[in-house]
């Protein structure tokens, strides 16, 4: 039986790009299901049965559900070992995982502060109190509920922006240091670390273009990775992302 892969994703959202890029780099065909975040389709009861956190992406492989983009990507590399995206050397693999963790714990929250302000705040402000309360009640994760409430009110605090900007500085600095040791973040090999960090370098450089000027190795890495065919196919608008 041929493997059947399905990906529920939100097109150009950062974690969706992480798993879409992994699939494309490995040459794995999949059925694409677009989940419209601005219509809160990620809170639909049918979707919550797949992903109780109400997050994108979700992978369904021969009927088995795998959640969390970083977990999905390690899973894909384990189950489909051709075109590996993880170093076989355990030390390099540990270095890769440090960057994957940094993407999740520093990259994603730092991106959300400016991005949600830009993409969600106006929509939330226009909602009636009843509509808004329904959205909050249907949001599974407590940290997301609190962020939506902040946006509906005063917006994120200066402290929250300071923390986000500090995390952007940190990720650029760590990339710049890592790239002393090779063309890719985990060394000689292009890995899940590059795939995990890319959405955030992409997002940070939109918010703060000056960061790229101050980090020349990271700027070179960025030019190199953006030229990859799979990256172009993932990051450029397409039929798969058109609804975004």
User: Does residue 87 contact residue 187 with C-beta atoms inside 8 Å?
Assistant: yes
105 binds its own copies (CB under 8 A): yes
Q: How many CB atoms lie within 10 A of CB 202?
A: 18
d(CA 231, CA 10): 16
Which residue has 């760590």 as its token pair? 174
CA 77 to each of CA 22, 143, 165: distance values in angstroms, whole numbers, following the listed order: 9, 30, 32
Q: How many CB atoms lie within 10 A of CB 71?
A: 14
79 binds its own copies (CB under 8 A): yes
Among 134, 163, 207, 238, binds its own copies (CB under 8 A): 163
71 binds its own copies (CB under 8 A): yes
Q: What residues contact 239, with CB distance under 8 A and at least 6 apart?
A: none
Q: How far is the CB of 120 from its own copies (least distance, A)?
A: 18
Q: How far is the CB of 143 from its own copies (least distance, A)?
A: 6
Mark the segment that binds its own copies (CB under 8 A) among 5-13, 95-103, 123-131, 214-222: 95-103
Q: How far is the CB of 97 from its own copies (least distance, A)?
A: 5
Among 6, 44, 169, 176, binds its own copies (CB under 8 A): 169
Among 94, 127, 226, 243, binds its own copies (CB under 8 A): 94
Beta bridge partners of 60: 6, 65
228 binds its own copies (CB under 8 A): no
Strand duo 31-34 + 64-67: pairing = unpaired
Give 72 or 201: the residue with its C-beta nearer to its own copies: 72
Which residue has 């402290």 as its token pair? 159
166 binds its own copies (CB under 8 A): yes
Residue 85, classed as helix, strand or coil, is coil
Among 3, 131, 133, 162, binds its own copies (CB under 8 A): 162
**Interacting residues toward its own copies by CB under 8 A:** 64, 66-68, 70-72, 74-75, 78-79, 90-91, 93-94, 97-98, 101, 104-105, 141-143, 145-146, 159, 162-163, 166-167, 169-170
């Amino acid at each position: 039986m041929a493997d059947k892969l399905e990906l529920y994703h939100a097109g150009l959202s950062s974690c969706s790009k992480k798993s879409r890029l992994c699939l494309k780099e490995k040459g794995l065909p999949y059925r694409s299901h677009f989940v419209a975040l601005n219509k809160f389709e990620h809170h639909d009861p049918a979707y919550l049965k797949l992903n109780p956190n109400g997050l994108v992406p979700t992978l369904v492989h021969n009927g088995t559900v795998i959640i969390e983009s970083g977990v999905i990507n390690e899973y894909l590399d384990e189950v489909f070992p051709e075109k590996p995206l993880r170093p076989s050397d355990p030390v390099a693999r540990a270095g890769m995982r440090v960057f994957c963790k940094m993407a999740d714990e520093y990259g994603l929250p730092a991106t959300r502060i400016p991005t949600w302000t830009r993409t969600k705040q106006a929509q939330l402000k226009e909602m009636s109190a009843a509509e808004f309360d329904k959205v909050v009640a249907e949001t599974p994760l407590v940290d997301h509920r609190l962020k939506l409430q902040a946006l509906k009110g005063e917006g994120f605090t200066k402290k929250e922006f300071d923390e986000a900007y500090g995390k952007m500085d940190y990720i650029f600095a760590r990339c710049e240091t890592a790239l002393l040791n090779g063309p890719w973040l985990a060394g000689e090999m292009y890995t899940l670390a590059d795939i995990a960090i890319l959405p955030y370098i992409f997002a940070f450089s939109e918010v703060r273009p000056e960061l790229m000027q101050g980090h020349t190795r990271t700027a070179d890495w960025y030019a190199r990775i953006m030229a990859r065919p799979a990256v172009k196919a993932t990051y450029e608008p397409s039929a798969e992302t058109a609804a975004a």
